[in-house]
Amino acid sequence: MLRLAIQKSGRLSEDSLQLLRDAGIYLSSSPSRLLRTQATNFPLELIFVRDDDIPEYVEGGVVDIGIVGENVLLEARKDVETVERLGFGKCRLSLAMPKNTPYSGPESLQNLRIATSYVRILDNFLREQNIQADIHEISGSVEISPSLGLADAIFDIVSTGSTLLANGLREVATVLESEALLVAHPVMAAEKRDILDRLLFRIHANRNAKNHRYILMNVPNDQLDHIAALIPGMKSPTVLPLQQPGWSSLHSVIPETVFWDVLEQLKAAGAEGILVVPIERMIL
């Protein structure tokens, strides 16, 4: 049995549960009011906690794995293994200053008072930049501290920037681009490692599927080689004869990032009846 900690209620909760559902893992009861539950069809136990506690639980072995924001993990400085970047819960940690304060680079922060709840990440950044500044630790509502005269700058999570704007601030530098991470206790029994590997296998199959499209089209035989060469496929495309003489059906899998470009080239090269189909799961 593998024990996983996820955020009880917050920005990472729904995506964490969705990750499990996509991996075909179902829970014995709805997690809304429970603090722990088990999967019905996978050797996984879930516990629901505050995100700030997850690094410590994973380091201490209270749980084997956890899903936590990189910002929280870096601030907690716990000894855990990052096994996967999950691609959700994206945000950035940035420095912001009052709209009219000039900023020409980190040196503009020299000797200023900076309010933040991310003391360690900020301290690390300032050290790297060789800047001396006075860090004020505040646990919330960091954005109002400059207008209260408590700080000259802030260091905080920014998503759209509208909160900054409403407080007369502007973002001057991004220090960390964060996303949710799957983290693990550094030492794990072989049996648990196996369960984790099975979970990762499913996560990868879903990610690959999401990042690719299945593409099929009709192609005149004299254009087959030319068209096949345009497709950055998995291995080599499948070619099946059509009943109509001189034509074939060509199938392949292409990365989502290039598929519009490839589509235009295929059309120009004489492909017809092009279908692009989502992929449910993909195992490489």
- Residues lying near ligand ATP in the complex (CB under 6 A): 7, 10-12, 50-52, 69, 71-72, 89, 91, 157, 159, 178
Give the C-alpha distances (Å, rounded to integers) separating 133 from 4, 12, 113, 119, 154: 39, 32, 6, 12, 12
In the complex with ligand ATP, the residue whose CB is nearer, 141 or 159, is 159
Minimum gap (Å) between residue 92 Cβ and Zn ion: 17
Part in contact with Zn ion (CB under 5 A); list of ranges 44-52, 155-163, 195-203, 260-268: 44-52
In the complex with ligand ATP, the residue whose CB is nearer, 60 or 273, is 60
The number of residues that bind Zn ion (CB under 5 A) is: 2
Residue nearest to ligand ATP (CB): 69
Amino acid at 22: D
In the complex with Zn ion, the residue whose CB is nearer, 2 or 46, is 46
Minimum gap (Å) between residue 129 Cβ and ligand ATP: 23
Minimum gap (Å) between residue 179 Cβ and ligand ATP: 8
Beta strand extents in 61-195 (DSSP E only):
65-69, 81-85, 91-98, 113-116, 134-137, 153-158, 169-178, 180-184
Cβ–Cβ under 8 Å, residues 214 and 250: no
Q: How far apart are CA 120 and CA 155, in angstroms?
A: 11
52 binds Zn ion per the rule CB under 5 A: yes
In the complex with Zn ion, the residue whose CB is nearer, 15 or 256, is 15
Minimum gap (Å) between residue 247 Cβ and ligand ATP: 50
CA-CA-CA-CA dihedral for 49, 54, 56, 59, to nearest 10: 130
Minimum gap (Å) between residue 57 Cβ and ligand ATP: 13
Q: How far apart are CA 223 and CA 227, in angstroms?
A: 6
The sheet carrying 169-178 orders its strands as 134-137, 113-116, 153-158, 91-98, 169-178
Minimum gap (Å) between residue 74 Cβ and Zn ion: 14
Neighbours of 217 (CB within 10 A): 22
Instruction: By CB under 5 A, name the one of 16, 51, 180, 183 that touches Zn ion.
Output: 51
Choose among Zn ion, ligand ATP, none what residue 12 binds, the Cβ cut-off being 5 to 8 Å by kind: ligand ATP
In the complex with ligand ATP, the residue whose CB is nearer, 12 or 142, is 12
Neighbours of 220 (CB within 10 A): 16
In the complex with ligand ATP, the residue whose CB is nearer, 31 or 237, is 31
Cβ–Cβ under 8 Å, residues 63 and 80: no
Choose among ligand ATP, Zn ion, none what residue 7 binds, the Cβ cut-off being 5 to 8 Å by kind: ligand ATP
Part in contact with Zn ion (CB under 5 A); list of ranges 45-53, 103-111, 119-127, 189-197: 45-53
In the complex with Zn ion, the residue whose CB is nearer, 42 or 155, is 155
Choose among ligand ATP, Zn ion, none what residue 11 binds, the Cβ cut-off being 5 to 8 Å by kind: ligand ATP
Neighbours of 56 (CB within 10 A): 16
Phi, psi of 86 (to 5 degrees): -95, -10
The β-bridge relationship of strands 81-85 and 113-116 is unpaired
Return the structure tokens found at 23: 């991996």
Give the footprint of Zn ion on this chain (CB under 5 A). 51-52
